[in-house]
Amino acid sequence: MRHLLIVAGALAMTGCVTESVYLGSDKPVVEKRINNEDAARTRISLALKYLSTGDSSQAKYNLERAAVFAPKLPEVHYSTAYYYSAVGEVELAKKSYLRAIELAPDDPNTLNNYGVFLCGNGQYDEAQEYLLAAIAIPSYIRVAESYENLALCAIENDEFGDAQEYLESSVKHSPLRSSSLINLSALYYAKSDLIKAQDLLARYEDAGRVSSRSLLLSYLIDNKMGHIQKAELTGKVLQQTYFSSREALVVRENKVEDSEFEQLRQQYRKSELRKIQKTVVREVEQPKIKIIKRKSPAQEEGLTESSKQPQIVNAPLIKVDAIASEPAQPFIETSLQPTAPVQSSESEVDSAESISTLPPLKSNSDIEQTIADRQALGLIELPFHEVKKGETLFSISVRYNVKLQKLLEWNGLAHGDQVNAGTKVYLNDPNVYHRVVEGDTLFGISVKYNILMKKLLEWNELSFEEHLTPGRKILLVDPKTYSL
């Protein structure tokens, strides 16, 4: 006999169970009611898949259906915000994110996603606030991911100190997180801290992991450290394993400068250069100003011939703001030569004050130190050891507490090379000078040798805008500390 189904009750709320009975029988029929939140999440999943394939119309339709099923579910609104962000509707995206936060202010996923959105729109400080708020929620389990998001955001804004701190935190929370390990290693590479960069990659590889990114970074680090044979082997593995990858392509075409890691390195260098330029400009715009008091005629008569040499009276520094009412001059000329004593006339007021930008006089000890420093520019002695019979590079490295790899690098040797008695082995990097050629600039030299421009200026006692003449030697090491 055919059973007719009669609904005995109405659906009152999401997720509840209703009971019906068959006509003429007390036997219950159990029906599960559709869970609206699950239905909404299904629609969200479909929407994101459509969006990833470029079908934005279907993506939007499914998000709208999700909103009908669960209008107060935060996932609906931050997924909608993600859609709007992807299609370039920034204001609508922001509105959807804020609606999601309004519905669930302590939902860490919403806070994380909004932080990433703010970072993508150049709002670094606000992005930090929301990402750190997500991390602070005890129940949040994707802490390492949020720290990595913070680091990537910091890098986009040239905040490399913050980036390193956040990536280190990410690795602490998830020691084997692949992307964090590679990104932190890449940051160390950008800062020329090659040992730390190599150690992190070793940790990544020890976990049995390999990728085209890790192989390229390893290739670059080995090249920088002078491990040419190892770099060539890594390059071959990259070509054989990931031939169609972008990383393999840049090595194959010898365009490693186009790789993400070299671009990060250049970004860091430019950031450091901008800091130096700002420091120089600040020093030029805020010169130290001293007051020189003119002497009255009575005071002049009491001076002996020997005491009439130019002197600078010790006077407190005054701020430039104190003369702000005077018209601004295009520049203030500063002379290193002492000026002659000013003769006072009867019309001048006693102790009249004049403003000068003369630099403070150096003491004898300062002058002697300057002379010694300048002499040091041409008197760098290269430490070396003359090989004796029976000695090996390894025994020399142990004797002088120098890494064997460094000895090989500094002396242009490879593993297994023999050195004969009487051979001079350099115990420090012998490349201490750069000889200027036509067209050289300080910035170009700093980039070539991976040295901060500020250091070059200091070691060679140069000014920021000084012209370099061909043939001149530029020190590439600190003359005060260069030794074994």
Q: Are residues 153 and 215 in the same domain?
A: no
Per-residue model confidence (pLDDT) at position 337:
36
Q: Are residues 44 and 128 in the same domain?
A: yes
pLDDT digits (tens, 9 = 90+) for 367-402: 444 344 444 444 566 778 888 887 888 778 777 777
Q: Under a CB-based contact definition with an 8 Å cutoff, are residues 74 and 100 in contact?
A: yes
3-state secondary structure of 334: coil
Tokens of 177: 């997180």
List the CATH number of the domain containing 408: 3.10.350.10
Per-residue model confidence (pLDDT) at position 314:
37
Residue 20 to residue 33: CA distance in whole angstroms: 12
Question: Does 345 reside within a domain?
Answer: no
pLDDT digits (tens, 9 = 90+) for 275-319: 877 765 555 555 555 545 555 555 545 544 444 443 333 333 333
Q: Are residues 47 and 146 in the same domain?
A: yes
Per-residue model confidence (pLDDT) at position 174:
95
Per-residue model confidence (pLDDT) at position 390:
77
Residue 48 to residue 449: CA distance in whole angstroms: 47
Least confident of 74-78, 84-88, 353-357, 415-419: 353-357
CA 86 to chain centre: 27
> Which residue, among 320, 326, 253, has the nearest Cα to 282 in the 3D structure?
320
Average pLDDT over residues 410-416: 80
Tokens of 302: 């009491």
Long-range contacts of 350-354 (CB under 8 A, 24+ apart): 350/296, 351/293, 351/294, 351/296, 352/293, 352/294, 353/291, 353/292, 353/293, 354/291, 354/292, 354/294
Percent of the chain with pLDDT over 70: 70
Q: With a cut of 90, say whether residue 24 has pLDDT above it.
A: no
Per-residue model confidence (pLDDT) at position 331:
33
Residue 139 to residue 436: CA distance in whole angstroms: 60
Q: Are residues 56 and 135 in the same domain?
A: yes
Q: Are residues 86 and 207 in the same domain?
A: no
Residue 121 to residue 214: CA distance in whole angstroms: 29
Q: Under a CB-based contact definition with an 8 Å cutoff, are residues 219 and 234 in contact?
A: yes
* DSSP-H helix ranges across 286-346: 297-301
Q: Are residues 49 and 178 in the same domain?
A: yes
Q: Under a CB-based contact definition with an 8 Å cutoff, are residues 277 and 257 in contact?
A: no
Question: Does 253 reside within a domain?
Answer: yes
Which string of b and e fits 261-283 if b means at least 16 CB within 10 Å?
A: bbebbeebbeebbeebeeebeee
Question: Does 310 reside within a domain?
Answer: no
Collect all residues with Cβ–Cβ distance below 8 Å to 430 and sequence separation of at least 6. 382, 410
Which string of b and e fits 175-210 if b means at least 16 CB within 10 Å?
A: eebebbbbbbbbbbbbbeebeebbebbeebeeeeee
Q: Are residues 40 and 178 in the same domain?
A: yes
Question: Does 108 reside within a domain?
Answer: yes
pTM across the whole model? 0.54
- Parent domain of 225: 202-282
pLDDT digits (tens, 9 = 90+) for 162-209: 999 999 999 999 999 999 999 999 999 999 899 999 999 999 998 889
pLDDT digits (tens, 9 = 90+) for 311-366: 333 333 333 333 333 333 333 333 333 333 333 344 433 433 333 333 444 444 44
Collect all residues with Cβ–Cβ distance below 8 Å to 338 and sequence separation of at least 6. 310, 358
Q: Under a CB-based contact definition with an 8 Å cutoff, are residues 100 and 67 in contact?
A: no
Q: Are residues 46 and 192 in the same domain?
A: yes
Query: Which residue, chain included where needed, has tokens 């029976």?
Result: 390
Least confident of 13-17, 303-307, 378-382, 452-456: 13-17
Per-residue model confidence (pLDDT) at position 447:
81
Q: Under a CB-based contact definition with an 8 Å cutoff, are residues 128 and 169 in contact?
A: no
Percent of the chain with pLDDT over 90: 45
Average pLDDT over residues 150-173: 95
pLDDT digits (tens, 9 = 90+) for 247-266: 999 999 999 999 999 999 99
Average pLDDT over residues 403-432: 82
Confidence of residue 461 (pLDDT cuts 50, 70, 90): confident
Q: Are residues 126 and 233 in the same domain?
A: no
Mean residue pLDDT across the chain: 76
Q: Are residues 245 and 149 in the same domain?
A: no
Count of domains in the chain? 4
